[in-house]
Structure 1
Amino acid sequence: MSAHDPADGLPEHPERLWSSPEPERSYDVVIVGGGGHGLATAYYLARNHGITNVAVLEKGWLAGGNMARNTTIIRSNYLWDESAGIYEHALKLWEGLEDDLGYPLLFSQRGVLNLAHSLQDVREGVRRVNANRLNGVDAEWLDPGEVGEVCPIVNVSPDVRHPVLGATYQPRAGIAKHDHVAWGFARAAAAMGVHLIEHCEVTGIDVEGGRVRAVQTTRGRIAAGRVALCAAGHSSVVAGLAGVELPLQSHSLQALVSDLLEPVHPTVVMSNAVHVYVSQAHKGELVMGAGIDACNSYRQRGAFHIIERQMAAALELFPVFARAHVLRTWGGVVDVSPDASPVVGLTPVDDLYVNCGWGTGGFKATPGVGWCFAHTVAHGEPHPLNAPFSLERFTTGALVDEHGAAAVAH
């Protein structure tokens, strides 16, 4: 990582933010996947548990997968107690993370609006607000006039195809700069002795006597006391190397940014019915996302018809953007579980742990799941906040159904 211009909001570093060591032949913990979750897990293993003989293996470059391809929304206003617990834990960590890491993350608590366009949306929104308040999560119900006060550029006219009947509002929610988050975690973990090894693809997982022993990589065999999988959309492929079948489907999730605009969009606006969510990045570009592509895919790009619908939906809500131009589009590979909630915990293979199934909600959970997954790996048992998200729930039936929260983006 080279030096940066202080005008970009980053400190000037004449040296690399982390080193690129050759892999050792063995580690206490090997983390597969160098995205936000893998880096956060490594950091909290070292910080909270004193486990520093750790390697993070990334087949490409650090944070080059979904971490670099998400739309950076951070919120905790989930319906079910289990989801609210882990996401609110994450949000509280976000609020002190810049000081903790000693690195600027551009965390901006500008609030999130979830719009309601039908009476059913209104009922579900009010129910969620009440559930949030019971869980100590900040939440408000706004009528259309109040929506217009929070975000004046939203079209709240009653005579449109999808009229805004109200919205849930979480004032503490917001956005952060995804690259800075990854760099902050990587820098802090490396400073405590964690090895960050790029261009090292895992091609096999050695299991003997029901226990994980090592990983096979493009840079040789690496023995491991414990292996933690944080491979996002490729989690089912990597877990399959150890004979573990995960109930996941991988899809492409598209997003796009516009050219640079003056500051006009003060918050984050999401709409399940219209299927679009919009925020404005620090530099000025609009950041927009939509629902996932229906077909299963490992492609990091999507289909044109999704983008076309996304633009039509955005203009329904924001007529002021009619003359904006699309600058670039991209896709990430998201892993979706049957109940649209993550899988975090133990596997049938001893000392093999999995963190996956986040679908479109992985970024906002980064510090929270890193904290909880590090506890799980360090102690060999789930942290109370991720215990409900065990793999066994798909046989016991104790599902955490968050499909309503996942219709557009987590």
Structure 2
Amino acid sequence: MSSNRYSLWSLFKQGLKHNKGWEPAWTSPQLKPSYDVVIIGGGGHGLATAYYLAKNHGVKNIAVLERGYLGGGNTARNTTIVRSNYLWDEASQLYEHSMKLWEGLSEDINYNVMFSQRGVFNLCHTLQDMRDGERRVNANALNGIDAQLLTTAEVKAHIPLLDCSSRSRYPVLGATYQPRAGVARHDAVAWGFARAASALGVDIIQQCEVLGMDIEDGRIKGVETSQGYVRTNRVGCVTAGHSSVMAKMAGIRLPIESHPLQAFVSESMRPCLDTVVM
């Protein structure tokens, strides 16, 4: 368990020790035979679930099982966009609550998740896009969510390099804009939640694939894993697009489908350092 609090002072102090005094960000314990809660999936959502269960609800005997490594699954492949300007009331309220968590997340878990509120634009290329955009902005306003409908000139003022002219392949008639939206580095989110959860006593087990579920009379008794059997009466399946596969192990058919998504997203990039070998 890491006892180091990241700060300017700790960075200075460890620098004097040639950075040899840092403790591991999280522990790598052996899988125990039983847990109060087992969470399948060591991505951002699975680790966040473990963290908030431990922090807000006092559940300490938790295992997070990840078949690969932390930050290497869907968490590393998503679009990094963080926003709450959704049309439907239920979705917008859920994501607005999430946005408020994001705005204090780095301070809460003492880890820089590189959350940058640079705003998000949804470009409108047709009159129907503009109608849909106006509908969404008005719905957001009714829910107290920051959202604006921009004209072509306003889009151009925000993004000078964007070709908004009628001569472009996809002319820009306007856009919806949420100023508080932004991007984050989601593998850093996984690492930050892993560190914070581990400090609260959560066992994080990597390279541990769930192979089956032990169910008796409609209740979970345990899970079979690549590292052995684990007893538990509470299991959380937090495996993104793999959720339907996990649910099938429990005899449940989820009414969902996974769809591929392509998006062009700006994000914070770590600097590349040239190494000169003498």
Q: What's the TM-score, normalizing by structure 1?
A: 0.60
1:162 aligns with 2:170: yes
SS of residue paired to 1:205: strand
- Aligned partner of 1:356 in structure 2 is none
**By how many angstroms is 1:239 displaced?**
1.0
Whether 1:131 aligns to 2:162 is no
Q: CA deviation at 1:178?
A: 1.4
Distance 2:31 2:119 in 1: 42
| Amino acid aligned to 1:120 | Q
Q: Distance in 2 between matches of 1:88 and 1:277?
A: 23
Match of 1:66 among 74, 82, 99: 74
* Deviations 1:205-242 (CA, angstroms, capped at 9, x unpaired): 01111111100001111011200000111111111111
- CA deviation string 1:245-303 (max 9, x = no partner): 1123334445xxxxxxxxxxxxxxxxxxxxx5332434489xxxxxxxxxxxxxxxxxx
Distance 1:198 1:253 in 2: 27
Partner of 1:51: 59
Distance 2:63 2:265 in 1: 36
| 8 Å Cα contact 2:40-2:239 kept in structure 1 | yes
Matches within 5 A, 1:188-267: 188-253=196-261
In structure 2, the partner of 1:145 is 153
Summarize deviations over 1:27-57 as a string: whole Å, max 9, x none.
0000001011100000000011000110000
Tell me if the contact between 2:44 and 2:187 (Cα under 8 Å) persists in the aligned partners: no
| Structure 2 residue 36 is matched with structure 1 residue 28 | yes
1:279 aligns with 2:266: yes
Q: Does 1:16 align with 2:3?
A: no
How many angstroms apart in 1 are the aligned matches of 2:149 and 2:271? Answer: 28
C-alpha change, 1:253 and 1:160, in structure 2 (3 Å) is: closer
Alignment of 1:94-133 (within 5 A): 94-133=102-141
Alpha carbons of structure 1 residues 34 and 280: separation in structure 2 relative to 1, 3 Å: closer
Distance 1:151 1:282, change over 3 A: farther
User: Aligned in 2, Cα 1:280/1:223: closer, same or farther, shift over 3 Å?
Assistant: closer
* CA displacement at 1:150 relative to structure 2: 1.0
Aligned partner of 2:275 in structure 1 is: none
The structure with the greater share of residues assigned to strand is 1
> Mapping of 1:383-402 within 5 angstroms?
none
Long gaps (5+) in structure 2:
1-5, 12-18, 273-278
Given candidates 149, 163, 173, the residue that maps to 2:181 is 173
Task: Work out the CA distance in 2 between the residues paired with 1:219 and 1:277.
Answer: 39
* Secondary structure of the structure 1 residue equivalent to 2:37: strand
Deviations 1:129-173 (A, max 9, x none): 000011111001110110011111111112223210000000000
CA change 1:177–1:237 in 2 (3 A) is same
**1: distance between equivalents of 2:267 and 2:247?**
37
Look up the equivalent residue of 2:176 and give its one-letter code.
T
Q: Distance in 1 between matches of 2:148 and 2:166?
A: 21
Q: Is the 8 A contact 2:83 2:180 kept in 1?
A: yes
Distance in 1 of aligned mates of 2:260 and 2:225: 26
| TM-align CA RMSD | 1.9
In the alignment, the residues of structure 2 paired with residue 153 and residue 283 of structure 1 have an alpha-carbon distance, to the nearest angstrom, of 24
* Aligned equivalents of 1:171, 1:213: Cα separation in 2: 47
2: distance between equivalents of 1:140 and 1:252? Answer: 28
After superposition, the Cα gap between the structure-2 partners of 1:228 and 1:282, relative to the gap in structure 1 and judged at 3 Å, is: same
Q: Quick one: structure 1 residues 200 and 278, their matched pair in 2 at CA, closer, same or farther if it must change by over 3 Å? A: closer
Identity of aligned residues (%): 59
Separation in 2 of the partners of 1:118 and 1:250? 28
- What do the CA deviations read for 1:2-33 (whole angstroms, capped 9, x no partner)? xxxx9xxx966722110111111110000001
Name which of 63, 83, 96 aligns with 2:91: 83
- Provide the C-alpha distance between the structure 1 equivalents of 2:38 and 2:199, rounded to a whole number of angstroms: 17
Tell me the CA shift for residue 63 of structure 1: 2.2
2:233 aligns to what SS in structure 1? strand
Structure with greater contact order relative to length (CA < 8 Å, sep ≥ 6): 2
Count of matched residue positions in the alignment of Structure 1 and Structure 2 = 256
